Amino acid sequence: METLRIGAGAGFSGDRLQPAVILAERGRLQYLVLECLAERTIALAQLRRRSDPDGGYDPLLERRMELLLPPCVRNGVRVITNMGAANPLAAARRIVEIARRLGLRLRIAAVTGDDVLASLDLGQPALETGRPLREYDSIVSANAYLGAEALLPALASGAEVIVTGRVADPSLFVAPMMHRFAWRADDALRVGRGTVIGHLLECAGQVTGGYFADPGRKDVPGLATLGFPFADVDEQGNGSIGKVDGTGGRIDLATVTEQLLYEVTDPSAYLTPDVVADFTTVRLHAAGPDRVAISGATGSPRPASLKVSVGYRAGFVGEGEIGYAGTNAVGRAELAAAIVRERLHGVEVRLDLIGRTSLQGRSFFTGDRPYEVRLRVAARCQTREEASRIGEEVEALYTNGPAGGGGARKYVHEQVGIVSCFIPRDRAIPQLTLFESNP
């Protein structure tokens, strides 16, 4: 049976670059998908676009394209990516410039239409809180999760590179399946199966053992050279997951099962813009070294609405850190925390002893008291000036006690909050813009 091979070249904005190059050079792919966009990522990109109309795309776009375009062109690999973030048109123009500099003739497609800020109903409640959206100060972004169907005109155009904004993660992988095998958008069975494959691929190195690794319990070889996955998919939507020979990591029933359940609230009804996928019928079986076959998924018709990620300005976070070592390190760090709490009277601060209470909020330590510990103080403030005071108070501990503090650091950064809502599909109309690079 004819199959399509799709590689996962990135699982988040800051992912490693080299594994994608290996896939482009040695993976024998038809498509390479770079999934680089999270909810907070696109809200921050919208802020960058406000200060720079030619910005707002992924910060690593240039470096990724400079490395990937030559091997992708050489090996006939088409690229699909959401690195356009808040500005797919600017991202496409930048890719044109890179292609010309590299002497490559390419067609680049920009898919827009996910930005629905202008048509957002501010009276509707946020899913997380039930509060009307109008109660959130300074909304900066509202991006609908487009589905695979939005990418089909770009694929039909023959574009070698397709750059989008907010598209649901598995939809980036489902789109080339729909294009290649001429699946209808309402073919819930095949689209549901394809969504399972896309969900397994979307976080790249997680399914090859990266997020799975736990030394002594779940050992993974070669994590420093972790290979990213590819999938071979047939026209029925079934397939298998593998990786390039000689790369690090592992693919087996355990790694694939963990990724299958990743971020899934209801495995019988995994909602995407394309389908309501049912993971409970999925069958996995080992198909060879570092190869797992996936089949049996089902699906039901797609939801009537699209999910929207809404970003708003949530003030500023001020942070300060200082370390203590030696005998009674914990006692001195606790005294430092008490001093800062008193100095910042009236400010709701979070105080963590990193290595002791910073993750769980309390200590589970049962042995001797740690020989070193680091105090972190953080608070959310309305203004940058108020936030600056947090780190200043921590830094002042150098000479104002307790003894032996060192390595103080301070930070202030703007906070972007995220809530969600739904909108009717007809409020997010995908648009296609084509660009050509003529060296």
Beta carbons within 10 angstroms of residue 361's beta carbon: 8
Whether pLDDT at 371 is above 90 = no
User: Bridge-partner residues for 324, per DSSP?
Assistant: 373
**pLDDT of amino acid 16:** 97
Look at residue 433 and tell me if it is in a domain: yes
**pLDDT of amino acid 367:** 61
268 shares a domain with 169: yes
Whether pLDDT at 346 is above 60 = yes
Which residue range forms the structural domain that includes residue 74?
Answer: 3-119+142-309+421-437
185 shares a domain with 103: yes
Whether pLDDT at 363 is above 70 = no
342 shares a domain with 253: no
Look at residue 242 and tell me if it is in a domain: yes
The arithmetic mean of pLDDT across residues 60-76, rounded, is 98
166 shares a domain with 78: yes
CA gap 57, 42 in Å, rounded: 9
**pLDDT of amino acid 1:** 76
pTM comes to 0.92
- Quickly list H helices, 314-396: 329-343, 384-395
Beta carbons within 10 angstroms of residue 415's beta carbon: 14
Look at residue 183 and tell me if it is in a domain: yes
Look at residue 129 and tell me if it is in a domain: no
Look at residue 135 and tell me if it is in a domain: no
190 shares a domain with 320: no
pLDDT digits (tens, 9 = 90+) for 207-216: 999 999 999 9
428 shares a domain with 387: no
The arithmetic mean of pLDDT across residues 21-34, rounded, is 98
Look at residue 156 and tell me if it is in a domain: yes
298 shares a domain with 332: no
Q: Which of 260-264, 364-368, 387-391 has the lowest mean pLDDT?
A: 364-368
| Helix/strand/coil for 110 | strand
pLDDT digits (tens, 9 = 90+) for 98-142: 999 999 999 999 999 999 999 999 999 999 999 999 999 789 999
335 shares a domain with 215: no
348 shares a domain with 254: no
Q: Is the peptide bond before 402 cis (omega within 30 degrees of 0)?
A: yes
Label residue 361 by pLDDT band (50, 70, 90).
low
Query: CB under 8 Å to 236, separation ≥6 — which residues?
Result: 1, 190, 193
Above pLDDT 70, what percent of the chain?
97
CA 297 to chain centre: 24
- Here the CATH number for the domain that contains residue 344 is 3.30.70.600
pLDDT digits (tens, 9 = 90+) for 168-180: 999 999 999 999 9
pLDDT digits (tens, 9 = 90+) for 318-345: 999 999 988 888 899 999 999 999 999 9
Label residue 357 by pLDDT band (50, 70, 90).
low
260 shares a domain with 368: no
Look at residue 133 and tell me if it is in a domain: no
The arithmetic mean of pLDDT across residues 370-383, rounded, is 92
CA dist list (Å): 164 to 170, 198, 241: 14, 17, 25
pLDDT digits (tens, 9 = 90+) for 274-314: 999 999 999 999 999 999 999 999 999 999 999 999 999 99
97 shares a domain with 239: yes
**pLDDT of amino acid 40:** 81
369 shares a domain with 224: no
Label residue 364 by pLDDT band (50, 70, 90).
low
What's the domain count of the chain?
2
DSSP 280-306: GG-EEEEEETTEEEEE--EEEPPPSEE
pLDDT digits (tens, 9 = 90+) for 390-435: 999 999 999 999 999 999 999 999 988 999 999 999 999 999 999 9
Look at residue 124 and tell me if it is in a domain: no
Label residue 44 by pLDDT band (50, 70, 90).
confident
